[in-house]
Amino acid sequence: MPLQTLELKAVGAFPKLFLDYITKNETLATFYNQFPDIEGFRKAIQSRVFTKEKRQTLVAALENQYSTLDSKPDFSPLLDDKTFTVTTGHQLNIFTGPLYVIYKIVTVINLARKLKAEFPDYNFLPVYWMASEDHDFEEISVFNLFGKNYKWETTQKGAVGRMNPAELRAICDQIPERVEFFQNAYLNHGTLANAVRCYMSHLFENEGLICIDADDKALKSVFSHIIKDDLLQHTASKLVTETSEKLHTAGYHTQITPREINFFYLEDGLRERIIKEEDEYKILHTDITFSESEILQLVENNPERFSPNVVLRPLYQETILPNLAYIGGPSEVPYWLQLKGIFDYYQEQFPLLMPRNFALVVNEASRKKIDKLGITTEELFADEVTLRKGFVEKNSRKSLSLAFEIDEINDIFERILKKALIIEATMKGPVEAVKAKSINSLEHLEKRIKRAEERNQEGSVNQLLALKEKLFPGGGLQERKENFLNFYLNDNLFIKKLLDTLDPLDYSFNVIEI
């Protein structure tokens, strides 16, 4: 896989807060602890504390979760205080969803490898945090393969990880090629979370990837003191609001807004917000209510009924894992920067925030078209108007610009104005008006000349725009639209080649040729 890299800011697809973070803008220094480089990891290893009791609870939960699979990773290293995790997470998109989900997991696996090479006395395990409690079904229900969208139709409600994926048989039968490991996962497991764990274990076999489902009573018990505090004191709301205001003052747009209570009530088929009205706790869109003593007793006996929202999910993750780093996308890293105050308050170590790998995959056919058109891959990152304009001008036999002629008109009218002012001071206005009209006419003529040249090059321009659409579907990044099967079905070593090619600590945009 030949590889070239571009600076992320050159791609034009990432927010300012994200770009300033990865370039170590000093304005953001107080919003995190360590930068994700080798020295930052060295400091994080030295300071990370995780109790023996938590390790035992974690291992027991994982053993139980993997009981539906024939093979599983070795969890025993997690009992050792020299073992740490590095984590990425995502929603349970059907058939893995967009390509960047695979990039996330490739990044976290390669990071674990790199850390082991740098710090051989320690163990590092890659973790995929399955967002099984998320209830936004629309976001996970569609995937794109070979330019066609496939959608899961269902009447099931609530946390997606608890849904039965058997209905996905219809899509398995529709896609152009039979994919056994997806079919096995979806049709032989009663929940989507178990199905995702199954196919991820297949795709990343022998890579030590751990898929964790946080929708777990034992794991929620470790977090119960924070559930109670949020219900009673609303600490997170106050702290995140303060941090968000600081980021706004520094000129940044923030991603998330805290609520007074940052938990949902969770049952089969139901995930709804908890609100407090006077002395009563209510579950939105239901008739369920609790007194203060009742809801605190529920936390004690059934912590699995409480599901953190985006504000407290990161803290939950760090509470139950001996984690060093979180690997996220250009929207995730910025919202984590809003959360350090919560971690400080609850005395939980804030992880190193790492961008995932970003990539554009260019196959041989597309590479030949790029070469034939005489353009560079970098040029394709421009918007369509800029790309078309630059291509036409570069391939025209003569200059299409009238800038020289417009400069000459300016000079002529400067001379005319001098003559006119000698005769009458009021002549400046009429002279400037004629000048403006002349320049406007030339600019209009220039546009007509360029459009005429575009028509002369119409065939090549159409080829260029078709290539742009193939590599940047809908004008966006390929990784956000296409599914990994577009490449994997032609080469089942595709994921292995990504693992062998991408560097987790190189914060660039990768162009990969296959």
Model pLDDT for residues 90-118, shown as the tens digit of each residue: 999 999 999 999 999 999 999 999 999 99
**pLDDT reading at 435 higher than 70:** yes
Q: Please tell me the distance from the alpha carbon of residue 343 to that of residue 314, in angstroms, as a whole number.
A: 9
Q: What is the pLDDT, as a whole number, of residue 14?
A: 96
In the chain, the N- to C-terminal Cα span, in Å, equals 6
Give the span between the Cα atoms of 438 and 394, in whole angstroms: 27
Per-residue confidence band for 450, with pLDDT thresholds at 50, 70 and 90: low
CA distances 323 to 18, 125, 146, 450, Å, are 22, 9, 37, 57
Q: Where are the alpha helices (DSSP H) in 66-188?
A: 99-118, 137-140, 169-174, 180-187
Using CA atoms, how far apart are residues 301 and 299, in angstroms rounded to an integer? 6
The two three-digit tokens of residue 148, written as one number: 């066609």
Nearest 5°: the CA angle 218, 220, 224 is 120
What is the tens place of the pLDDT at every residue in 303-313? Answer: 999 999 999 99
Q: Cβ neighbours of residue 427 under 8 Å, at least 6 residues apart?
A: 417, 420, 421
Taking only the tens place, the pLDDT of each residue in 70-92 is 888 999 999 999 999 999 999 99
Q: What does pTM read for this prediction?
A: 0.89
pLDDT of residue 397: 57
* For residue 400, pLDDT beyond 60: no
Please name which of 32, 19, 22, 27 lies closest in space to residue 337, comparing C-alpha atoms.
Answer: 32
Average pLDDT over residues 357-365: 96
- Whole-number pLDDT of residue 440: 87
Least confidently predicted of 151-155, 224-228, 326-330, 444-448: 444-448
Please count the residues of the chain.
Answer: 514
Residue 46 CB burial class (10 angstroms; 0-12, 13-18, ≥19): exposed
Angle at 240 between CA 239 and CA 241, to 5 degrees: 90
Minimal CA–CA distance to 95: which of 183, 2, 222? Answer: 183
Q: What is the mean pLDDT of residues 353-367?
A: 96
Pick 247 or 1 by higher pLDDT: 247
Confidence of residue 449 (pLDDT cuts 50, 70, 90): low
Residue 401 or residue 350, greater confidence: 350
User: If phi over 0 gives left and psi between -120 and 50 gives alpha, with beta otherwise, what is residue 31?
Assistant: alpha
Alpha-carbon distance 208 to 136, whole Å? Answer: 29
pLDDT, position 402: 56
pLDDT digits (tens, 9 = 90+) for 239-271: 999 999 999 999 999 999 999 999 999 999 999
Spatial separation of the C-alpha atoms in residues 423 and 241, rounded to whole Å: 67
